[in-house]
Amino acid sequence: MTKLDQHISQTLKKVADEQGIPSFEFPSERAALASRKRDSRFPGLLLFPTTAIIAFFLIITLGTQVSPSIAAYMKSLFTEKGADEGLQQAAQNGYSQAVGASATDQGITLEVMEVMADSVRINIVYRLVDQAGNVLSPDQLDSYDVEITDPNGESVQNSSSTSLRYEKEYGYLRISNKIETSDQKLILRLDTAQIGNTKGNWSVSVPFDITKSTAATTTFPLDNTYVTPQGLQIKLTGITHSPTATRLEYETSWTEEAFKKLEQVGEKLAEKIETTGIARYRSFDHNRAFRIEREKNGVKIGEVKPLSGGASGKKEGHLSHQDVYQPFIPGETYYLVLDSITKVEPFELSISFDPKKIDKQSAKATKDDNVFQISAYGIGKSDDEISRTEVTIDAYVQGMIPHIDSRFLLLTDEKGRTYRFKGASHDYFETDEKGRQHIQAILKVEEQLDPIPEKLTLNFYGIPKRYTNVNWRVPLPTSTVEDKTSTEAKK
């Protein structure tokens, strides 16, 4: 028996003892050799190592949850590149649960391989297989519904957001959530009516247990408030550390004075924006540039990677937020830093041009020392492979304008017909001699203009403005629960 076999044997015996499997013995090398000789009559069969057979037997015997003692040997799909560092670390500490639940329709099987769950987020690994056994690309699952319920079928998620990543033949679905229930055994239901171009009905129920992850989770209430010069109030309310991630919760609202001013601005702009059908201008909308710094022994060593974010409205101008980050590392110090806030503000500007001559004669306009120049007009394909008219604008802007928001632009032809934009792509270049940022935005019209109009006018109604005159840096508590599995691994 090799040293590797001896190590695996000891691990398997320990798992067997923990689970009460009687008379567990690791097969000898002679027995394994004899088995290989007997199997040699069937050269077409794939011969598995004895250790793999025993590991498989233990999984069948012990159920779908992977024992922490065997997790190091049974490699989890959450240790692959499709999973982030938090999931990889949690998988190594034995929090992954094998599933094997599936649904088949129209010759296609949707199979959920593993689940990793705690009170901050739930993650599953799935794959798609056709009836011939061929593995399909996981990105063919692009429309789906997810619900988390208790054993009685009652929904237990307060709020959630989902995202997908792909790695080879596997898809990694992440559900950032806030579970509100005392039940530890829950069910994730994944439903879809289409896989690729095939319509059907697939519904997979995935049972999972958060008992262990809950025991390794800590939540701290927070009561830190900051008011920006623009009147935005930010109040931290809590932070949760789980095996897979850290969730920061906070609320944003506006001071009474700022609220009144924003209402007045909104009323003046609403008629122009809403009658054109561009977008509903919500004067209270904003973005915050947060980051979490990592320090060790008083020296900054990096930042924590953000994973997802979500918000729900309490009332107009008052939002509750949940931002999810990679898990904090014990022994380090963490600070939440606010760098800026950005919001769309009224900004009126019009640029008329001849689309047939724009490549020879550009058109530009200036406002508040910001220059906007239309430099190209043509046809391009968007991500949805639909041909659309594109208008290219080169902007030389002050630092407080971070990008061009196409939702607040409108294109009008010489006959008064209006065209909305469906997104934009941005490129950033070096500043000009006046220190203005050069931004090139390719604006994608919702449709292809055919025939080409004789004259077009690009109308600005709003533009994002970033304010950096903020000053807030607050320490964040780290987890006080020591991961027992991690401690055992160190021993």
Q: Are 248 and 392 contained in the same domain?
A: no
Tokens 């040699």 correspond to 40
- Give all strands (DSSP E) within 210-327, no chain letters: 218-227, 232-241, 246-254, 287-296, 299-303, 306-315, 318-325
Domain shared by 359 and 437, yes or no: yes
Residues 380 and 282 in one domain: no
334 with 223, same domain: the answer is yes
> Minimal CA–CA distance to 375: which of 443, 308, 422, 297?
443
Alpha helices in 20-164 (DSSP H): 29-39, 50-62, 68-71, 85-92
Which among 125, 129, 102 is positioned nearest to 115, based on CA atoms?
Answer: 125
Mean pLDDT of successive 10-residue stretches along the chain, which has 491 residues: 48 48 42 39 40 46 42 71 90 93 96 94 95 95 90 79 87 84 90 95 95 94 96 96 95 91 75 56 77 94 91 81 92 96 90 93 93 93 76 94 90 92 91 94 90 94 93 90 45 41
Containing H/E element for 258? helix 256-276
Joined together, the tokens standing for residue 410 give 């409108």
Enumerate the β-bridge partners of residue 306. Answer: 325
Q: Identify whether 148 is part of a domain.
A: yes
Q: Is residue 444 part of a domain?
A: yes
Q: What is the pLDDT of residue 273?
A: 64
Could you give the number of structural domains in the chain? Answer: 4
Do 189 and 237 lie in one domain? The reply is no
Q: What is the pLDDT of residue 283?
A: 62
Please, which residues bridge with residue 294 across strands? 302, 334
Residues 451 and 356 in one domain: yes
Of 85, 87, 476, 480, residue with least CA distance to 293: 476
Final residue in a domain of this structure, among 158, 182, 214? 214
CA distances from 286 to 149, 162, 282, 350, 400 (A): 33, 22, 9, 25, 14
In this structure, the answer to whether residues 202 and 232 fall within a common structural domain is: no
For position 313, what pLDDT does the model report? 77
The verdict on 208 and 82 lying in the same domain is yes
Q: Is residue 457 part of a domain?
A: yes
Residue 69 falls within a domain, yes or no? Answer: no
Joined tokens for residue 437: 């940022």
Q: Is residue 303 part of a domain?
A: yes
Q: What pairing do the DSSP bridges indicate for beta strands 170-179 and 157-167?
A: antiparallel
The phi and psi torsions of 93 (rounded to 5 degrees) equal: -95, 10
Per-residue model confidence (pLDDT) at position 210: 93
The verdict on residue 71 lying in a domain is no
**Do both 474 and 463 map to the same domain?**
no
Which pLDDT value is given to residue 49?
A: 46
| Whole-number Å distance between alpha carbons of 340 and 470 | 6
Would you state the pLDDT for residue 381? 73
Give SS3 for 112.
strand
Choosing from 214, 233, 261, the residue where a domain stops is 214
The predicted structure's pLDDT at residue 490? 42
Q: Is 459 domain-assigned? A: yes
Same domain, 383 and 358: yes
Task: State the CATH number of the domain containing residue 105.
Answer: 2.60.40
For the record, the structure tokens of 405 come out as: 């928001």
Tokens describing residue 238: 């809590």
Expressed as residue numbers, the domain containing 1 is: 1-63
Q: Which residue, 101, 104, 97, 36, is CA-closest to 68?
A: 97
Is 70 contained in some domain?
Answer: no
Q: Using the 3D structure, point to which of 178, 193, 214 is the last residue of a domain.
A: 214
Residues 126 and 198 occupy one common structural domain: yes
What is the rounded distance in angstroms from the CA atom of residue 148 to the CA atom of residue 131? 29
Exposure pattern of 237-276 as b/e (b: 16+ CB <10 Å)? bebbbbbbbbbbbbbbbbeeebbeebeeebeebeebbeee
Token pair, residue 173, equals 């679905």
Q: Are residues 237 and 336 in the same domain?
A: yes
User: 15: number of CA atoms within 13 Å, CB side?
Assistant: 27
